Amino acid sequence: MDENTDSAVSHSLEDEVVLARSGDPAALESVVRTVQQDIYNLALRFLWHPQDAEDASQEVLIRVITSLDSFRGESGFRTWVYRVACNALLTLRKKRMEQQSLSFEQFAEDLAQGLSDSPLSVEDDVEQQLLLEEVKIGCTLAMLQCLDRKHRLAYILGEIIELDHIQSADALQITPATFRKQLSRARANIHSFMTSQCGLINPDNACRCSRRVSTAITLGRVDPSNLIFATSQQQAKRFPQILIEIRQLEEYRRAAALYQSHPEVRAPDAFCLWLQKLLDEMPDRSPMK
């Protein structure tokens, strides 16, 4: 949700917000549908598990709708939505991945113990590519869980989504100087871990997605019949070329590029149905004619 990349779209959204605040139900639906996918992807990166991201996104969207009258335009609407989302995410009770409380050291031990050179029992190359994509995305998102919540959000906003420091600080309701410190610490931790452990970032490392698949399936972390991250066969096929491009970047830029290479995960059908039901049940706030 970059506020500066397409001013026409941004202006259109701001206009829709004005109409929604005046009671226009069609404008409200347009506003909510414009931001709902970005909220879901933020929640997924923050929480790892799609069901937890879905639950959190529902809460955020309800807050956005019910708090819309409090938006005064002092910042861009998208930044305000991120502020609402960050407030909600920071105050959630611990979710399933956070309850494991893995440190970077523990995660490194888990990676080292879970490598296997056993051949994959798959029927075709497409299935193998999807399994590798599932492990890649699941593993790299899990790395973010080693950061505490404030540093995790700082990294997601500033390094992956690439909001500028002013927007990110506004979303987190901290000073730009504080945000820069948090982002710097988070970036250093992710960079240090990936360059020492991840074979995608540093080919000299032993860990490879292909060596993680068998163990992930055995431990139940990956269900070949129900992949939750690898939703695009086209993306999975393209990743070897994307990886070549990532490795050509300067080392400090590779981690962010890897996260940015993840495909946008579409919100589940159940979430979309819930959202439509919520919008359908909203009271008619249209102004009297």
Q: What is the pLDDT of residues 18-45, one digit of tens each?
A: 999 999 999 999 999 999 999 999 999 9
Task: Find, among 17, 89, 23, the residue nearest to 53 by Cα.
Answer: 89
Q: How confident is the model at residue 109 (pLDDT cuts 50, 70, 90)?
A: very high
Given this model, what pLDDT does residue 135 score? Answer: 96
- Provide the whole-model pTM: 0.90
What is residue 68's DSSP assignment? G
**Residue 83 · residue 170 · CB < 8 Å:** yes
Query: Structure tokens of 109?
Result: 């031990």
Mean predicted confidence (pLDDT) in 170-178: 98
Given this model, what pLDDT does residue 289 score? Answer: 34
Burial of 120 (0-12, 13-18, 19+ CB in 10 A): middle
Q: Is the pLDDT of residue 119 over 90?
A: no
Query: Structure tokens of 202?
Result: 């540093």
d(CA 77, CA 86): 14
The strand pairing partners of 207, in sequence order, are 198
Given this model, what pLDDT does residue 124 score? Answer: 64
Residues 1-11: pLDDT tens digits? 555 544 445 45
3-state secondary structure 192-224: HHHHHHECCCCCCCCECHHHHHHHHHHCCCCCC
